[in-house]
Structure 1
């Protein structure tokens, strides 16, 4: 299947979900005062590492207040 034959009706929701995930992770990270590591590094990870960056931020980066 060539790139011109990609069914955009299937790809568009995945792109939208990815953008929502990245934007919500960036906004959340910028508002957090305490993180597991420097804030600038988490912002680079979120923006630069595809799906793994934002997901790893929500799993590892945020400090849990108990």
Structure 2
């Protein structure tokens, strides 16, 4: 919940948005790893992977915009 709020506050305060995106990217990457280590098929880890990539893209755009 805090990550979503941080992303929503990102346009008002870029450091908060970048920090929230970085935290969510780490969380989603860890979720994908846990899925794969528990023997789930890769399709089960795909949503977490996509969300991790989206958070990284958000952070990149926010840092480029200043």
The TM-score normalised by the length of structure 2 is 0.48
Which structure has the greater CA radius of gyration?
Answer: 1
Structure (1 or 2) with the greater helix fraction? 2
The TM-score normalised by the length of structure 1 is 0.48
